[in-house]
Amino acid sequence: MECRQRDYSTQGNDLKSRFESIQIRAIGTVLPGVPQPLVDLGPDFGVDYVRRVVASTGIESVHIAPTGVTSSDLCVIVARELIQREGLTPEDFDALVFVTQSPDYITPATSPSIQARLGMRTDVAAMDLNFGCSGYVYGLLQASLLCLLPDCRRVMLLVGDIQTPYVNLRDRSLKMVIGDGASATIVEKGTQTAVGVHYSDGSGVEHLYIPAGGRRRPYSPESLLDVLMPDGGYRSDLNLRMDGAEILRFAMETVPEMIEGIVGDAGWTKDEVDLFVLHQANKLILESIRRKIGVPKEKLPVMLRTTGNTSPTSIPLALSKMVEAGEIPDSMSRVVLCGFGIGLSYGAIAANLTGCRIYPPIYS
């Protein structure tokens, strides 16, 4: 892999999106299986090493989906629950957006099968988006765009990933941070306004990716071979790889500037923002960003202690965990949602979540 310094700072004019008469109605999440404590990995990686990882990441356990359970399975579970809780039926939706990096098949797209499993009408638009850490904010962008269509009243946004099978069992870093989960969000025509910015920098794609298995590098017997990496972990070319130092640098160079920008675009000040909900990568990154933008701890929550990094699910899951813990602020009129990571892809949305019903996680 070529190593060279990259400038990740935003350049030129931002592509801003402004959505009038849009509302995020409700959010639900699901976590598979039971928590897997990281201390159980002490015999594999060393007790002291595990303790250091827990201290730096803030992650004490993760949820791992049972063999045979797919991201779409989790999304169907939480979508059905959310539809029922909101007093709706599957026929009340005009579009379905499914955001994942772990689809059911290479082809076709998974969203049409979810449409059928949920019992939605056949005249709905169903589409897949392949995004990871920024997937929730990109999914909200797509759902909001659909709601701008005259005949589209309501969109089901499903965001979920089962990434743990892509992590090598002997990977000293990723094995202790990656977890599985899924979410459902109802986006519909309403009375609120949201402002968003979205960025892409594919020059850093190799800092967080799976090298083989696609058409760029097709599967071969050699791609299954585990290789000892410089960080002491083992990975094959079919495993997820991450350059942690580069991802940290990317986050610190892009996210604070992006947050400052989106707050200004919304016409707010940072002091007026009720909550900053960021992609839950790890405690180190979140605390570093929080200090750089200068906001108090209660306004930028770290909610990954029992879930780990759940990729595109982490933003709605953080909100669900706050509800579960009784930590949601009284006012949600000014909320910034921010995703960043694999791609490299990043984005933020400033939204009014007043009236949005956020439910505690389902444990399935």
Q: Which residue is associated with the tokens 């990571």? A: 341
- Return d(Cα 135, Cα 364) in angstroms, integer: 22
Token code pair at residue 337: 């949602």
CB distance 306 to 181 below 8 Å: no
In the 8-state DSSP scheme, what is residue 309?
Answer: B
The answer to whether residue 63 is catalytic is no
Catalytic residue among 63, 198, 207, 279: 279
What separation in angstroms does the CA of 220 have from each of 106, 206, 215, 234, 237? 17, 20, 12, 18, 10
Determine which one of 133, 147, 338, 356 is catalytic.
133
What is the full DSSP assignment across 243-255? Answer: -HHHHHHHHHHHH
Give the separation between CA 207 and CA 214, rounded to whole angstroms: 17
Question: How far, in Å, CA of 148 to CA of 363, rounded?
Answer: 34
Q: Are strands 154-161 and 181-189 parallel, antiparallel or unpaired?
A: antiparallel
Q: Let me know if 279 is a catalytic residue.
A: yes
Nearby residues of 216 by Cβ (< 8 Å), 6 or more positions away:
none
Query: Does residue 133 have an active-site annotation?
Result: yes
Q: Collapsing DSSP states into helix, strand and coil, what is residue 85?
A: helix
- Under 8 Å CB-to-CB from 288, ≥6 apart: which residues? 248, 251, 252
User: Per-residue b/e over 209-246, b at no fewer than 16 CB within 10 Å?
Assistant: bbbbbeeeeeeeeebeeeeebeeebebbbbbbbbbbeb
C-alpha–C-alpha distance, residues 295 and 255, integer Å: 14
Peptide bond into 108 cis (omega under 30): yes
Return the closest-CA partner of residue 160 out of 55, 29, 346. Answer: 29
Kindly name the residue from 168, 282, 309, 352 that is annotated as catalytic.
Answer: 309
Residue numbers annotated as active site: 133, 279, 309
